[in-house]
Amino acid sequence: MITARSHFFTEEHEMFRAQVRNFVSREITPYIDQWEQEGLFPKSLYRRMGELGFLGIRYPEKYGGSGGDIWMTIAFCEELCRCRALGLPMSVLVHTDMSSTHIARYGTEEQRQQYLVPMIKGEKVCAIAVSEPAAGSDVAGIQTTAVRHGDTYVLNGAKIFITNSVHADVFCVAAKTDKDKGHRGISLFIVERDTPGFRLAKKLQKLGNHSSDTGELVFEEVRIPRHNLIGEEGKGFYYIMANFQDERLIAASLAVGAAQQALEDTLRYTRERRAFGKRLFDHQTVAHRLADMATELEAARQLTYYAADVLQRGGDCSTEVSMAKLFAAEVANRIAYHCLQLHGGYGYIQEFPIERFFRDIRLSPIGGGTSEIMREIIAKRGLDRE
Amino acid sequence: MKILVTVKRVPDPETTIRVKPDGSGIVTDNIKYVINPFDEIAIEEALRIKEKQGQGEVVLVSIGAKVASEQLRTGLAMGADRAILVLCDQELDSLGVARILAKIVEKEAPDLVLMGKQAIDDDANQAGQMLAALLNWPQATFASKVEFMDNYVQVVREVDGGLETVRFPLPGIITTDLRLNEPRYASLPGIMKARKKEIREIAVAELGIDTTPLLTVHKMDPPAKKAAGKKVESVQELVHLLHTEAKVI
């Protein structure tokens, strides 16, 4: 299948893409079935990726990063999806772009040296803990508290759906430092795995994304030093919101990358499989369905690139990014439905990668902001203004 | 030690190659190009030698159109120090390539030239040997192991039916076989650093040599289509057919 190369990608981006693709085909794809079954991939993979500079794409060179741009990150996302599973890519991107980012952006120099540097090397794994049993999209409604006593904060509460909860050494945890202030009362803290009172209550069994470790965390009288506060007290909500654009763009790009792989697999299948004396592809209804899917996917990809371009230029990109995430997630799910359908019975069994894609991609319109929240942002921020 | 490594731009072995209807060559539209895999092994070996010795320089050289700089840039991203691109639009045969390389060797005076044993596009397997002859240097082809001793280099060669160990004093030429090493990926910091590394361009005319091919390609034909295989029901049947039909056992 021919995919258009966008003018956003330079020779350097393409070189990086080729390296990631090569890495994925040699060091991830051969093992992904096993890791999916085990519900976890080896932590050593972080180190390996760290050596190759994959974990510090956009971080400053000073901390071991490469000072790359959003297009490097997008190439990375798209190529990781070539392993035909979304769990592993999600875990890695939570580490690189959804959690450690807070330490990189708002952390003190000491925090960056202590945490960010080993995270870029893959020696420490990072997670972000915001969602709670009673507060998901509604971040301001979290109930975990952090109360200051002199030089320490004491954390109490519970977190759910936390990616990397088994592997992570460091958690960026959102907690209320002022219960009366709503979203202005939220702060972000660094909590290390072995802190007394902090534990992984349960590893969650999910519909898909099995190679990614998702869990429920409990904080009982967890005492952390005052200097583990990230940035300023009361600013946590803004830090989280500020990172949403990156996070959602990555979600869009993963959806595009995974759908691309699924569509390529389906194309191959329909050109090999025969029914009623000809290739599946030679049945017009099949060919037209594939044409529709390829068209929708291209639209999702170009919208994602457009949003990335707006983000890269530094303007307010919340509308464009929300559109990209909404559209890519829904297109990818439609593609999953039709790709499975075209595989017939084979699409429903685990020997074919479409079955996994169908399960994994279902998270796309939920994680990192649901499709409903995306529509809300597009309507309120993009449409309802003079 | 200064090591010169040759880098040829070739079609990605994973692309489907189609021969032009008139047999004059292959269809080059939509083809992805990569470093000749044997040359990639040569780059890796050169980098390992430099790393092991703690010093030295790895210089890449390619011959071809300006686009070959993409492959040189990838080699630089793997860790090579600098590169030379001999700009040449005409078709070359192995002797032409060897003559150009001999000139570059004269200018650069490397201690060692590392080359892929052959390029996967035309599979000639001649340039290394011809270069050795032109320079009157020792050569070790099809290397599967390279070790440096006090005054010489020891190379284990993959030959028909076994291994052959040879030694020669530097300077010399080594061509690499598949099992010599597994090339590294270019890391992202490597890719970023490669941006600033030099690719010096030299027009082939400046070298003042005759590169008119003695060998010309007259026609290309795609390989004959394979007939469909046969499915057998049991091991017994397979053995029976191998014996009676294929006559291999």
- Nearest Cα neighbor of A74 from A241, A321, A249 is A249
Token digits of residue A129 = 């803990």
Contacts of B111 (CB under 8 A, 6+ apart): B1, B2, B3, B170, B171
Q: Determine, yes or no, domain membership for A5.
A: no
* B70 shares contact with chain A (CB less than 8 Å): yes
A173 with A218, same domain: the answer is: yes
- Nearest Cα neighbor of A156 from A170, A166, A145 is A145
Q: Determine, yes or no, domain membership for A143.
A: yes
Strands A198-203 and A274-275 come out as unpaired
Mean pLDDT to the nearest integer, A299-313: 96
Contacts of B189 in chain A (CB under 8 A): 53, 61, 66
| Interchain contact, A15 vs B188, CB within 8 Å | no
* B71 shares contact with chain A (CB less than 8 Å): no
- Domain B2-222 CATH superfamily: HUPs (3.40.50.620)
Q: Determine, yes or no, domain membership for A6.
A: no
Q: Determine, yes or no, domain membership for A205.
A: yes
Token digits of residue B109 = 């005076």
- Could you give phi then psi for residue B185, rounded to 5 degrees? -85, 155
What CATH number does the domain containing A306 carry? 1.20.140.10
Cβ-contact A65, A73 below 8 angstroms: no
Mean pLDDT to the nearest integer, A243-268: 97
**Residue B225 banded pLDDT, cuts 50, 70, 90:** confident
A105 with A143, same domain: the answer is: no
- Tell me how far apart the alpha carbons of residues A18 and B40 are, in angstroms, rounded to a whole number: 14
A290 with A369, same domain: the answer is: yes
pLDDT digits (tens, 9 = 90+) for B15-24: 888 999 998 8
Count of the separate structural domains present in chain A = 3
Q: Which domain holds residue A133?
A: 127-234
- Could you give phi then psi for residue A8, rounded to 5 degrees? -70, -25
| Interchain contact, B77 vs A22, CB within 8 Å | no
* pLDDT value, residue B24: 87
* B192 shares contact with chain A (CB less than 8 Å): yes
- Tell me how far apart the alpha carbons of residues A116 and B46 are, in angstroms, rounded to a whole number: 33
Strands B172-176 and B112-116 come out as parallel
**Residue A3 banded pLDDT, cuts 50, 70, 90:** low
Q: Provide the phi-psi class of B101: left if phi over 0, else alpha when psi is between -120 and 50, else beta.
A: alpha
- Tell me how far apart the alpha carbons of residues B8 and A139 are, in angstroms, rounded to a whole number: 55
Query: Which helix (H) or strand (E) segment is A214 a member of?
Result: strand A214-225
A141 with A112, same domain: the answer is: no
User: pTM for the full model?
Assistant: 0.90
* pLDDT value, residue B227: 81
Last residue within a domain, chosen from A80, A108, A125? A125
What CATH number does the domain containing A55 carry? 1.10.540.10
- Tell me how far apart the alpha carbons of residues B132 and B3 are, in angstroms, rounded to a whole number: 15
* pLDDT value, residue A1: 52
- Could you give phi then psi for residue A360, rounded to 5 degrees? -65, -45
* pLDDT value, residue A4: 54
Which position has the token pair 């600033």? B196
Average pLDDT over all residues of chain A: 95
Cβ-contact B9, B71 below 8 angstroms: yes
Angle, helix A236-272 to helix A70-80, in steps of 10 degrees = 50
Token digits of residue B234 = 């049991």
* pLDDT value, residue A56: 97
Angle, helix B69-78 to helix A11-27, in steps of 10 degrees = 60
Lowest mean pLDDT across A5-9, A276-280, B182-186, B209-213 = A5-9
**Residue A227 banded pLDDT, cuts 50, 70, 90:** very high
A68 with A160, same domain: the answer is: no
Last residue within a domain, chosen from A199, A234, A269? A234
| Interchain contact, B185 vs A57, CB within 8 Å | no
B3: which strand partners?
B58, B112
Q: Which of B31, B32, B188 is the mutation pick for testing A, counting most A CBs within 10 A?
A: B188
- Tell me how far apart the alpha carbons of residues A374 and A359 are, in angstroms, rounded to a whole number: 21
- Tell me how far apart the alpha carbons of residues B118 and A280 are, in angstroms, rounded to a whole number: 41
Q: CA triplet B47, B48, B49: central angle to 5 degrees?
A: 90
pLDDT digits (tens, 9 = 90+) for A149-184: 999 999 999 999 999 999 999 999 999 999 999 899
Amino acid found at A21 = R
* pLDDT value, residue B20: 92
A118 with A213, same domain: the answer is: no
Q: Calculate the CA dihedral of residues A235, A237, A238, A241 and round it to 10 degrees.
A: 160
Strands A126-129 and A170-176 come out as parallel
B71 → chain A, closest CA residue: A15
pLDDT digits (tens, 9 = 90+) for A76-135: 999 999 999 999 999 999 999 999 999 999 999 999 999 999 999 999 999 999 999 998
DSSP annotation of A205 = P
A241 with A379, same domain: the answer is: yes
3-class DSSP string for chain B: CEEEEECCEEECCCCCCCECCCCCCECCCCCCEEECHHHHHHHHHHHHHHHHHCCCEEEEEEEECHHHHHHHHHHHHHCCCEEEEEECCCCCCHHHHHHHHHHHHHHHCCCEEEEECCCCCCCCCCHHHHHHHHHCCCEEEEEEEEEECCCCEEEEEEECCEEEEEEECCCEEEEECCCCCCCCCCCHHHHHHHCCCCEEEEEHHHHCCCCCCCCCCCCCCCCCCCCCCCCCCCHHHHHHHHHHCCCCC
pLDDT digits (tens, 9 = 90+) for A19-30: 999 999 999 999
Token digits of residue B116 = 């892929």
| Interchain contact, B73 vs A15, CB within 8 Å | yes
A346 with A377, same domain: the answer is: yes
- Nearest Cα neighbor of B190 from A382, A33, A351, A51 is A51
For the cut 90, the answer to whether the pLDDT of residue B226 exceeds it is no
Q: Determine, yes or no, domain membership for A100.
A: yes
A317 with A359, same domain: the answer is: yes
Last residue within a domain, chosen from A125, A146, A161? A125
Catalytic (active-site) positions of A: 247
Q: CA triplet B243, B248, B249: central angle to 5 degrees?
A: 55
A228 with A245, same domain: the answer is: no
A160 with A80, same domain: the answer is: no
- Could you give phi then psi for residue A308, rounded to 5 degrees? -65, -40
For the cut 70, the answer to whether the pLDDT of residue A69 exceeds it is yes
Q: Determine, yes or no, domain membership for A2.
A: no
A101 with A186, same domain: the answer is: no
Tell me the three state secondary structure of residue A59. Answer: coil
pLDDT digits (tens, 9 = 90+) for B93-137: 999 999 999 999 999 999 999 999 999 999 999 999 999 999 999
Cβ-contact A24, A45 below 8 angstroms: no
- Nearest Cα neighbor of B80 from B60, B62, B63 is B60
What ipTM does the predicted assembly reach? Answer: 0.87
Mean pLDDT to the nearest integer, A190-200: 97
- Nearest Cα neighbor of A210 from A381, A363, A380 is A363
Q: How far does B148 lie from chain A, in Å, by closest CA?
A: 28
Tell me the three state secondary structure of residue A157. Answer: strand
Mean pLDDT to the nearest integer, B45-72: 97
Which position has the token pair 């860790």? B79
Q: How far does B190 lie from chain A, in Å, by closest CA?
A: 9
